[in-house]
Amino acid sequence: MKYEVVIGLEIHAELSTESKVFCGCATTFGAEPNTNVCPVCLGMPGALPVLNKKAVEYIVRAGLALNCEIANYSKMDRKNYFYPDLPKAYQISQFDLPFCKAGYLDIEVDGLMRRIGITRIHLEEDAGKLVHTPGGTLVDYNRSSMPLIEIVSEPDMRSAKEAVEYAKAIRNILLYAKVSNCKMQEGVLRFDANVSVRPKGSQTYGTRTEIKNLSSFKMLQKAIDYEYQRQVSMVEKGEEIHQQTLRWNETGNCIIALRSKEDAHDYRYFPDPDLLPVILSDEFIEDVKHKMPQMPDEKKKMYIEEFQLSEYDAQVLTANSELCAFYEEILQDYDEPKTAANWVNVELMALLNQNDMLVEELAFSAGNMAQLLKNIQSGKISGKMGKGVLSEMFETGKSPEEIISAKGLSQISDTAELEKIIDKVLAENPASVADYQAGKEKAIGFLVGQVMKATKGAANPQSVNEILREKLKK
Protein backbone atom coordinates (compact mmCIF):
# COMPACT_ATOMS: atom_id res chain seq x y z
CA MET A 1 0.00 0.00 0.00
CA LYS A 2 1.10 3.56 -0.66
CA TYR A 3 1.23 5.95 2.28
CA GLU A 4 1.10 9.68 2.61
CA VAL A 5 2.62 11.79 5.34
CA VAL A 6 0.56 14.60 6.91
CA ILE A 7 2.48 17.39 8.61
CA GLY A 8 1.55 20.43 10.64
CA LEU A 9 4.15 22.78 12.08
CA GLU A 10 4.30 24.91 15.18
CA ILE A 11 6.94 27.56 14.71
CA HIS A 12 8.27 29.48 17.69
CA ALA A 13 9.97 32.78 16.94
CA GLU A 14 11.50 35.10 19.47
CA LEU A 15 10.49 38.70 18.81
CA SER A 16 13.25 41.28 18.49
CA THR A 17 11.86 43.75 21.02
CA GLU A 18 14.42 45.50 23.21
CA SER A 19 12.84 44.37 26.46
CA LYS A 20 11.13 41.18 27.61
CA VAL A 21 7.41 40.60 27.21
CA PHE A 22 6.24 41.25 30.80
CA CYS A 23 9.13 43.20 32.39
CA GLY A 24 11.80 45.74 31.46
CA CYS A 25 14.75 43.32 31.35
CA ALA A 26 16.98 43.45 28.28
CA THR A 27 16.70 40.79 25.58
CA THR A 28 20.39 40.86 24.54
CA PHE A 29 21.73 37.46 23.52
CA GLY A 30 24.84 36.02 25.13
CA ALA A 31 24.80 38.07 28.36
CA GLU A 32 26.35 36.57 31.57
CA PRO A 33 23.90 33.95 32.91
CA ASN A 34 21.20 35.35 35.21
CA THR A 35 22.05 39.02 34.62
CA ASN A 36 19.04 39.96 32.45
CA VAL A 37 16.60 39.14 35.24
CA CYS A 38 14.27 40.80 37.72
CA PRO A 39 11.59 39.68 40.22
CA VAL A 40 8.99 39.42 37.42
CA CYS A 41 10.89 37.07 35.11
CA LEU A 42 12.29 35.14 38.07
CA GLY A 43 8.71 34.47 39.18
CA MET A 44 9.03 36.03 42.62
CA PRO A 45 5.77 36.06 44.58
CA GLY A 46 3.93 39.34 44.29
CA ALA A 47 5.83 40.62 41.24
CA LEU A 48 3.36 41.77 38.61
CA PRO A 49 3.69 41.46 34.81
CA VAL A 50 3.02 44.36 32.41
CA LEU A 51 2.46 43.55 28.74
CA ASN A 52 5.05 45.00 26.32
CA LYS A 53 3.19 47.11 23.75
CA LYS A 54 5.91 46.61 21.14
CA ALA A 55 5.44 42.83 21.37
CA VAL A 56 1.74 43.31 20.61
CA GLU A 57 2.58 45.52 17.66
CA TYR A 58 5.02 42.88 16.36
CA ILE A 59 2.60 39.97 16.62
CA VAL A 60 -0.04 42.01 14.80
CA ARG A 61 2.52 42.80 12.11
CA ALA A 62 3.37 39.09 11.78
CA GLY A 63 -0.35 38.29 11.60
CA LEU A 64 -0.96 40.82 8.85
CA ALA A 65 2.07 39.57 6.91
CA LEU A 66 0.60 36.04 7.11
CA ASN A 67 -2.88 37.08 5.98
CA CYS A 68 -4.50 36.52 9.38
CA GLU A 69 -7.58 38.01 10.98
CA ILE A 70 -6.51 40.21 13.88
CA ALA A 71 -8.63 39.95 17.02
CA ASN A 72 -10.02 43.13 18.55
CA TYR A 73 -10.37 41.29 21.84
CA SER A 74 -7.67 38.97 23.11
CA LYS A 75 -6.43 37.75 26.47
CA MET A 76 -3.45 36.10 28.18
CA ASP A 77 -3.80 32.74 29.94
CA ARG A 78 -1.74 30.67 32.32
CA LYS A 79 -0.54 27.28 31.11
CA ASN A 80 0.30 25.32 34.26
CA TYR A 81 3.15 22.84 34.46
CA PHE A 82 6.25 22.36 36.51
CA TYR A 83 9.77 22.38 35.15
CA PRO A 84 13.01 23.83 36.63
CA ASP A 85 13.30 26.37 33.77
CA LEU A 86 9.86 27.76 34.64
CA PRO A 87 10.08 29.34 38.12
CA LYS A 88 6.42 30.41 38.34
CA ALA A 89 5.27 26.87 37.50
CA TYR A 90 3.10 28.36 34.78
CA GLN A 91 3.80 29.94 31.43
CA ILE A 92 1.86 33.00 30.34
CA SER A 93 0.48 32.13 26.93
CA GLN A 94 -2.82 32.39 25.06
CA PHE A 95 -5.45 29.69 25.03
CA ASP A 96 -8.72 30.35 23.22
CA LEU A 97 -8.38 33.99 22.15
CA PRO A 98 -5.07 34.48 20.33
CA PHE A 99 -4.15 37.75 18.63
CA CYS A 100 -4.20 36.27 15.11
CA LYS A 101 -6.08 33.45 13.39
CA ALA A 102 -7.23 32.03 10.05
CA GLY A 103 -4.29 33.10 7.87
CA TYR A 104 -2.33 31.40 5.13
CA LEU A 105 0.96 31.43 3.31
CA ASP A 106 1.48 30.53 -0.34
CA ILE A 107 4.67 28.64 -1.09
CA GLU A 108 6.18 27.18 -4.22
CA VAL A 109 7.37 23.59 -4.12
CA ASP A 110 8.81 21.97 -7.27
CA GLY A 111 7.21 24.64 -9.41
CA LEU A 112 3.73 24.16 -7.91
CA MET A 113 2.00 26.73 -5.73
CA ARG A 114 0.70 25.39 -2.41
CA ARG A 115 -1.41 27.28 0.11
CA ILE A 116 -0.63 26.37 3.73
CA GLY A 117 -3.29 27.37 6.24
CA ILE A 118 -2.30 29.14 9.42
CA THR A 119 -4.61 28.24 12.27
CA ARG A 120 -3.42 30.86 14.72
CA ILE A 121 -0.55 32.95 16.03
CA HIS A 122 -0.35 33.54 19.74
CA LEU A 123 1.93 35.43 22.07
CA GLU A 124 3.69 33.78 24.99
CA GLU A 125 6.76 34.00 27.15
CA ASP A 126 9.81 31.77 26.77
CA ALA A 127 11.15 29.62 29.60
CA GLY A 128 14.69 29.76 31.04
CA LYS A 129 17.45 27.54 29.75
CA LEU A 130 18.87 24.42 31.40
CA VAL A 131 22.59 23.89 30.94
CA HIS A 132 23.70 20.33 31.58
CA THR A 133 27.29 20.01 32.90
CA PRO A 134 29.22 17.02 34.29
CA GLY A 135 28.78 18.54 37.76
CA GLY A 136 25.02 18.87 37.46
CA THR A 137 22.37 20.91 35.70
CA LEU A 138 22.50 24.71 35.85
CA VAL A 139 19.72 27.11 35.00
CA ASP A 140 19.98 30.47 33.24
CA TYR A 141 16.90 32.69 33.51
CA ASN A 142 18.05 35.28 30.98
CA ARG A 143 15.69 33.70 28.45
CA SER A 144 12.83 33.53 30.93
CA SER A 145 9.97 35.76 29.74
CA MET A 146 11.52 36.55 26.37
CA PRO A 147 8.69 37.38 23.92
CA LEU A 148 7.74 34.48 21.67
CA ILE A 149 5.15 34.03 19.00
CA GLU A 150 3.90 30.59 18.09
CA ILE A 151 2.68 30.19 14.54
CA VAL A 152 0.47 27.10 14.25
CA SER A 153 -0.22 25.74 10.78
CA GLU A 154 -3.00 23.52 9.54
CA PRO A 155 -1.95 19.92 8.77
CA ASP A 156 -1.52 20.96 5.14
CA MET A 157 1.94 19.71 4.27
CA ARG A 158 2.47 16.39 2.47
CA SER A 159 6.25 15.93 2.47
CA ALA A 160 9.28 16.84 4.54
CA LYS A 161 10.41 19.03 1.65
CA GLU A 162 7.14 20.95 1.72
CA ALA A 163 7.49 21.44 5.48
CA VAL A 164 11.02 22.78 5.03
CA GLU A 165 9.93 25.15 2.24
CA TYR A 166 7.09 26.41 4.42
CA ALA A 167 9.41 26.93 7.41
CA LYS A 168 11.88 28.82 5.20
CA ALA A 169 9.09 30.99 3.80
CA ILE A 170 7.86 31.81 7.33
CA ARG A 171 11.39 32.78 8.31
CA ASN A 172 11.64 35.00 5.27
CA ILE A 173 8.32 36.73 6.06
CA LEU A 174 9.32 37.36 9.69
CA LEU A 175 12.60 38.88 8.51
CA TYR A 176 10.85 41.15 5.99
CA ALA A 177 8.30 42.18 8.62
CA LYS A 178 11.25 42.98 10.91
CA VAL A 179 9.72 41.30 13.94
CA SER A 180 12.42 38.68 14.63
CA ASN A 181 16.08 38.29 13.69
CA CYS A 182 15.37 34.54 13.15
CA LYS A 183 18.92 33.52 14.07
CA MET A 184 18.68 29.74 14.07
CA GLN A 185 22.08 29.26 15.71
CA GLU A 186 20.86 31.31 18.70
CA GLY A 187 17.64 29.33 18.98
CA VAL A 188 15.51 32.31 17.97
CA LEU A 189 13.50 30.10 15.59
CA ARG A 190 12.41 26.60 16.64
CA PHE A 191 10.04 24.08 15.10
CA ASP A 192 7.72 21.41 16.47
CA ALA A 193 6.46 19.00 13.82
CA ASN A 194 3.19 17.08 14.09
CA VAL A 195 3.45 14.00 11.92
CA SER A 196 0.98 11.27 10.97
CA VAL A 197 0.59 8.84 8.10
CA ARG A 198 -2.41 7.51 6.21
CA PRO A 199 -3.05 5.40 3.15
CA LYS A 200 -2.78 7.59 0.06
CA GLY A 201 -6.21 8.86 -0.94
CA SER A 202 -7.67 8.53 2.56
CA GLN A 203 -9.53 11.56 3.91
CA THR A 204 -9.15 10.84 7.64
CA TYR A 205 -6.03 11.62 9.62
CA GLY A 206 -3.95 9.00 11.40
CA THR A 207 -2.79 9.38 15.01
CA ARG A 208 -0.11 12.03 15.16
CA THR A 209 3.10 12.33 17.10
CA GLU A 210 4.85 15.57 17.87
CA ILE A 211 8.61 16.02 17.43
CA LYS A 212 9.71 18.87 19.68
CA ASN A 213 12.32 21.57 19.41
CA LEU A 214 13.89 21.14 15.98
CA SER A 215 16.38 23.96 15.57
CA SER A 216 17.45 23.79 11.92
CA PHE A 217 15.91 23.09 8.52
CA LYS A 218 18.15 20.04 8.14
CA MET A 219 16.95 18.63 11.44
CA LEU A 220 13.35 19.30 10.46
CA GLN A 221 13.80 17.40 7.21
CA LYS A 222 15.60 14.44 8.79
CA ALA A 223 13.24 14.12 11.74
CA ILE A 224 10.12 14.10 9.54
CA ASP A 225 11.61 11.58 7.10
CA TYR A 226 12.61 9.34 9.99
CA GLU A 227 9.23 9.60 11.72
CA TYR A 228 7.38 8.88 8.48
CA GLN A 229 9.39 5.69 7.94
CA ARG A 230 8.92 4.63 11.56
CA GLN A 231 5.15 5.11 11.46
CA VAL A 232 4.77 3.35 8.10
CA SER A 233 6.69 0.33 9.33
CA MET A 234 4.53 0.23 12.48
CA VAL A 235 1.31 0.42 10.47
CA GLU A 236 2.53 -2.32 8.15
CA LYS A 237 3.26 -4.56 11.11
CA GLY A 238 -0.26 -3.91 12.37
CA GLU A 239 0.98 -1.97 15.40
CA GLU A 240 -0.92 0.93 16.84
CA ILE A 241 0.57 4.44 16.80
CA HIS A 242 0.24 6.28 20.09
CA GLN A 243 -0.09 10.01 20.50
CA GLN A 244 3.36 10.86 21.79
CA THR A 245 5.82 13.68 22.25
CA LEU A 246 9.17 12.87 20.69
CA ARG A 247 12.61 14.33 20.54
CA TRP A 248 15.04 14.17 17.63
CA ASN A 249 18.47 12.93 18.67
CA GLU A 250 20.90 14.62 16.31
CA THR A 251 24.00 12.61 17.27
CA GLY A 252 22.22 9.27 17.01
CA ASN A 253 20.12 10.29 13.98
CA CYS A 254 17.06 8.83 15.63
CA ILE A 255 13.94 9.67 17.56
CA ILE A 256 13.49 9.32 21.32
CA ALA A 257 10.10 9.21 23.04
CA LEU A 258 9.81 11.89 25.74
CA ARG A 259 6.33 11.29 27.12
CA SER A 260 2.84 10.32 26.09
CA LYS A 261 1.27 13.39 24.53
CA GLU A 262 -0.70 15.60 26.88
CA ASP A 263 -3.97 17.27 25.91
CA ALA A 264 -4.76 20.95 26.40
CA HIS A 265 -6.96 20.19 29.43
CA ASP A 266 -3.96 18.69 31.25
CA TYR A 267 -2.53 22.19 31.54
CA ARG A 268 -5.56 23.64 33.35
CA TYR A 269 -5.42 26.85 31.32
CA PHE A 270 -7.15 29.84 32.90
CA PRO A 271 -7.11 33.61 32.22
CA ASP A 272 -4.16 35.29 33.92
CA PRO A 273 -5.72 37.41 36.68
CA ASP A 274 -2.67 39.73 36.70
CA LEU A 275 -3.16 40.84 33.10
CA LEU A 276 -6.11 42.68 31.60
CA PRO A 277 -7.69 41.49 28.36
CA VAL A 278 -6.14 43.26 25.37
CA ILE A 279 -8.47 45.38 23.30
CA LEU A 280 -7.06 46.41 19.93
CA SER A 281 -8.93 49.18 18.17
CA ASP A 282 -9.35 49.13 14.40
CA GLU A 283 -7.27 52.32 14.35
CA PHE A 284 -4.37 50.54 16.08
CA ILE A 285 -4.52 47.65 13.59
CA GLU A 286 -4.75 50.08 10.65
CA ASP A 287 -1.79 51.99 12.00
CA VAL A 288 0.32 48.82 12.20
CA LYS A 289 -0.74 47.94 8.66
CA HIS A 290 0.20 51.41 7.49
CA LYS A 291 3.68 51.16 8.98
CA MET A 292 4.39 47.67 7.62
CA PRO A 293 7.80 47.31 5.98
CA GLN A 294 7.67 46.36 2.29
CA MET A 295 6.87 42.65 1.93
CA PRO A 296 8.41 40.32 -0.71
CA ASP A 297 5.42 40.33 -3.09
CA GLU A 298 5.41 44.13 -3.24
CA LYS A 299 9.16 44.21 -3.76
CA LYS A 300 8.94 41.64 -6.51
CA LYS A 301 6.35 43.73 -8.32
CA MET A 302 8.50 46.83 -7.99
CA TYR A 303 11.60 45.02 -9.28
CA ILE A 304 9.73 43.86 -12.36
CA GLU A 305 7.94 47.12 -13.09
CA GLU A 306 10.49 49.74 -12.10
CA PHE A 307 13.81 47.91 -12.40
CA GLN A 308 12.71 45.84 -15.44
CA LEU A 309 14.06 42.66 -13.87
CA SER A 310 12.86 39.33 -15.21
CA GLU A 311 10.25 37.46 -13.17
CA TYR A 312 12.94 34.90 -12.36
CA ASP A 313 15.50 37.41 -11.11
CA ALA A 314 12.89 39.21 -9.02
CA GLN A 315 11.78 35.89 -7.54
CA VAL A 316 15.31 34.75 -6.64
CA LEU A 317 16.13 38.07 -4.98
CA THR A 318 12.95 38.40 -2.94
CA ALA A 319 12.84 34.77 -1.82
CA ASN A 320 15.74 35.52 0.51
CA SER A 321 15.47 38.65 2.63
CA GLU A 322 19.20 38.85 3.34
CA LEU A 323 20.07 38.57 -0.35
CA CYS A 324 17.43 41.17 -1.10
CA ALA A 325 18.85 43.58 1.49
CA PHE A 326 22.34 43.07 0.06
CA TYR A 327 21.06 43.79 -3.45
CA GLU A 328 19.30 46.97 -2.38
CA GLU A 329 22.40 48.14 -0.56
CA ILE A 330 24.40 47.77 -3.79
CA LEU A 331 21.86 50.01 -5.50
CA GLN A 332 22.53 52.81 -3.04
CA ASP A 333 25.91 53.33 -4.76
CA TYR A 334 25.28 51.85 -8.18
CA ASP A 335 22.51 52.81 -10.56
CA GLU A 336 22.01 49.85 -12.87
CA PRO A 337 19.54 47.51 -11.13
CA LYS A 338 19.49 44.99 -13.98
CA THR A 339 23.26 44.57 -14.11
CA ALA A 340 23.43 44.40 -10.32
CA ALA A 341 20.72 41.70 -10.25
CA ASN A 342 22.63 39.73 -12.82
CA TRP A 343 25.87 39.85 -10.84
CA VAL A 344 24.14 38.96 -7.59
CA ASN A 345 22.03 36.12 -8.99
CA VAL A 346 24.66 34.60 -11.26
CA GLU A 347 28.22 35.34 -10.14
CA LEU A 348 27.72 35.88 -6.43
CA MET A 349 25.21 33.03 -6.09
CA ALA A 350 27.61 30.64 -7.82
CA LEU A 351 30.35 31.48 -5.31
CA LEU A 352 27.98 31.15 -2.36
CA ASN A 353 26.63 27.81 -3.57
CA GLN A 354 30.06 26.37 -4.33
CA ASN A 355 31.18 27.21 -0.81
CA ASP A 356 27.88 26.34 0.87
CA MET A 357 27.70 29.82 2.37
CA LEU A 358 25.00 32.38 3.08
CA VAL A 359 25.09 35.99 1.91
CA GLU A 360 25.30 37.21 5.53
CA GLU A 361 28.57 35.32 5.89
CA LEU A 362 30.31 37.26 3.10
CA ALA A 363 33.71 38.78 3.93
CA PHE A 364 33.00 41.94 1.91
CA SER A 365 30.23 44.52 1.99
CA ALA A 366 27.54 45.45 -0.52
CA GLY A 367 29.40 48.77 -0.86
CA ASN A 368 32.46 46.83 -2.11
CA MET A 369 30.32 45.01 -4.63
CA ALA A 370 28.93 48.35 -5.85
CA GLN A 371 32.49 49.62 -6.21
CA LEU A 372 33.41 46.60 -8.31
CA LEU A 373 30.43 47.13 -10.61
CA LYS A 374 31.31 50.81 -11.01
CA ASN A 375 34.80 49.87 -12.13
CA ILE A 376 33.27 47.70 -14.83
CA GLN A 377 30.72 50.35 -15.76
CA SER A 378 33.43 52.97 -16.29
CA GLY A 379 35.46 50.58 -18.41
CA LYS A 380 38.39 50.56 -16.00
CA ILE A 381 38.27 46.78 -15.93
CA SER A 382 36.42 44.32 -18.16
CA GLY A 383 33.53 42.17 -17.03
CA LYS A 384 35.76 39.16 -17.29
CA MET A 385 38.35 40.75 -15.00
CA GLY A 386 35.51 41.71 -12.68
CA LYS A 387 34.66 38.05 -12.17
CA GLY A 388 38.23 37.36 -11.11
CA VAL A 389 38.20 40.33 -8.75
CA LEU A 390 34.91 39.16 -7.27
CA SER A 391 36.25 35.71 -6.47
CA GLU A 392 39.30 37.27 -4.83
CA MET A 393 37.05 39.58 -2.80
CA PHE A 394 35.11 36.48 -1.80
CA GLU A 395 38.23 34.70 -0.60
CA THR A 396 40.14 37.54 1.02
CA GLY A 397 37.54 40.19 1.89
CA LYS A 398 39.78 42.80 0.24
CA SER A 399 38.23 45.81 -1.50
CA PRO A 400 38.08 45.82 -5.32
CA GLU A 401 40.38 48.90 -5.40
CA GLU A 402 43.07 47.01 -3.49
CA ILE A 403 42.85 43.97 -5.74
CA ILE A 404 42.79 45.96 -8.97
CA SER A 405 45.84 48.04 -8.07
CA ALA A 406 47.80 45.14 -6.55
CA LYS A 407 47.33 43.12 -9.72
CA GLY A 408 47.85 46.05 -12.01
CA LEU A 409 44.56 45.27 -13.70
CA SER A 410 43.19 47.75 -16.11
CA GLN A 411 41.39 47.48 -19.33
CA ILE A 412 42.97 48.70 -22.53
CA SER A 413 40.67 51.52 -23.58
CA ASP A 414 43.53 53.46 -25.17
CA THR A 415 42.48 53.60 -28.81
CA ALA A 416 45.96 53.96 -30.27
CA GLU A 417 47.18 50.86 -28.49
CA LEU A 418 44.06 48.90 -29.45
CA GLU A 419 44.32 49.92 -33.10
CA LYS A 420 47.80 48.46 -33.34
CA ILE A 421 46.61 45.10 -32.03
CA ILE A 422 43.52 45.15 -34.23
CA ASP A 423 45.59 45.88 -37.36
CA LYS A 424 47.70 42.87 -36.57
CA VAL A 425 44.66 40.61 -36.09
CA LEU A 426 43.14 41.82 -39.36
CA ALA A 427 46.38 41.14 -41.21
CA GLU A 428 46.53 37.62 -39.81
CA ASN A 429 42.92 36.74 -40.64
CA PRO A 430 42.23 37.77 -44.23
CA ALA A 431 39.61 35.05 -44.72
CA SER A 432 37.41 36.39 -41.90
CA VAL A 433 37.84 39.93 -43.18
CA ALA A 434 36.67 38.81 -46.62
CA ASP A 435 33.72 36.92 -45.10
CA TYR A 436 32.60 39.98 -43.17
CA GLN A 437 32.93 42.25 -46.16
CA ALA A 438 30.94 39.71 -48.18
CA GLY A 439 28.07 40.20 -45.72
CA LYS A 440 28.75 37.47 -43.19
CA GLU A 441 27.98 39.52 -40.05
CA LYS A 442 29.02 36.60 -37.81
CA ALA A 443 32.66 36.85 -38.84
CA ILE A 444 33.08 39.91 -36.64
CA GLY A 445 32.53 37.81 -33.53
CA PHE A 446 35.54 35.71 -34.41
CA LEU A 447 37.69 38.80 -34.96
CA VAL A 448 36.62 40.34 -31.63
CA GLY A 449 37.53 37.03 -30.00
CA GLN A 450 41.00 37.13 -31.58
CA VAL A 451 41.61 40.65 -30.27
CA MET A 452 40.45 39.69 -26.78
CA LYS A 453 42.80 36.70 -26.93
CA ALA A 454 45.72 38.85 -28.05
CA THR A 455 45.12 41.23 -25.13
CA LYS A 456 44.49 38.39 -22.63
CA GLY A 457 41.01 39.77 -22.04
CA ALA A 458 42.26 43.24 -21.18
CA ALA A 459 40.60 45.05 -24.07
CA ASN A 460 37.27 46.74 -23.72
CA PRO A 461 35.07 44.56 -25.97
CA GLN A 462 32.80 47.43 -26.87
CA SER A 463 35.70 49.59 -28.09
CA VAL A 464 37.12 46.61 -30.00
CA ASN A 465 33.81 46.12 -31.72
CA GLU A 466 33.54 49.78 -32.69
CA ILE A 467 37.09 50.07 -34.01
CA LEU A 468 36.78 46.81 -35.95
CA ARG A 469 33.58 47.89 -37.68
CA GLU A 470 35.14 51.22 -38.55
CA LYS A 471 38.21 49.58 -40.05
CA LEU A 472 36.26 46.92 -41.96
CA LYS A 473 34.19 49.56 -43.73
CA LYS A 474 37.24 50.64 -45.69
Nearer of residues 40 and 193 to Zn ion, judged by Cβ: 40
Residue 255 interacting with Zn ion (CB under 5 A): no
Return the range that interacts with Zn ion (CB under 5 A); candidates 16-24, 55-63, 190-198, 461-469.
16-24
Choice between 141 and 334, CB closer to Zn ion: 141
Of residues 300-359, those binding Zn ion (CB under 5 A): none
Distances 61 to 260, 296, 441 between C-alpha atoms, Å: 35, 14, 58
Nearer to Zn ion, 258 or 275 (CB): 275
Interacting residue with Zn ion among 31, 33, 34, 38 (CB under 5 A): 38
The smaller minimum CB distance to Zn ion, of residues 23 and 56, is found at: 23
The residue range among 19-27, 183-191, 394-402, 442-450 that interacts with Zn ion, by the rule CB under 5 A, is: 19-27
Say whether residue 23 binds Zn ion (CB under 5 A).
Answer: yes
User: CA-to-CA distance for 61 and 99, rounded, in angstroms?
Assistant: 11
The smaller minimum CB distance to Zn ion, of residues 55 and 447, is found at 55
Read off φ and ψ for residue 12, nearest 5 degrees.
Answer: -100, 130
Residue 52 or 74 with smaller CB distance to Zn ion: 52
Rounded Cα distance, 447 and 283, in Å: 68
Closest C-alpha to 365, from 338, 334, 388: 334
User: Min. distance of Cβ 99 from Zn ion in angstroms?
Assistant: 22
Burial-class residue 157 by CB neighbours within 10 Å (0-12, 13-18, 19+).
buried
Q: Segment near Zn ion (CB under 5 A), from 15-23, 274-282, 316-324, 389-397?
A: 15-23
Helix axis angle for 321-333 and 160-176, nearest 10°, is 40
Q: Could you tell me which stretch among 41-49, 213-221, 262-270, 357-365 binds Zn ion (CB under 5 A)?
A: 41-49
User: Nearest Cα to 457, choosing from 469, 448, 446?
Assistant: 448
In the complex, the smallest distance separating the C-beta of residue 36 from Zn ion, rounded to whole angstroms, is 7
Minimum CB–partner distance for residue 297 and Zn ion (Å): 38
Residue with Cβ nearer Zn ion (21 or 182): 21
31 binds Zn ion (CB under 5 A): no
Which residue type occupies 379? G
- By CB under 5 A, name the one of 5, 6, 15, 25 that touches Zn ion: 25
Q: Which of 11, 15, 41, 381 binds Zn ion (CB under 5 A)?
A: 41
Contact 68, 121 (CB under 8 A): yes
User: Phi/psi at 459 (nearest 5 deg)?
Assistant: -80, 155
Note whether 344 and 318 are within 8 A (CB).
no
Smallest separation, CB 61 to Zn ion (Å)? 24
Q: Candidates 40-48, 267-275, 364-372, 440-448: pick the segment binding Zn ion (CB under 5 A).
A: 40-48
Which residues are within 8 A (CB) of 47 and not within 5 positions of it... i.e. 6 or more apart? 38, 39, 40
**Cβ-contact 66, 259 below 8 angstroms:** no
Among candidate residues 258, 174, 167, 257, the one with its CA nearest the CA of residue 215: 167
Query: In the bound complex, what is the minimum distance in angstroms from residue 57's beta carbon to Zn ion?
Result: 20
- Tell me which residues touch Zn ion (CB under 5 A): 23, 25, 38, 40-41
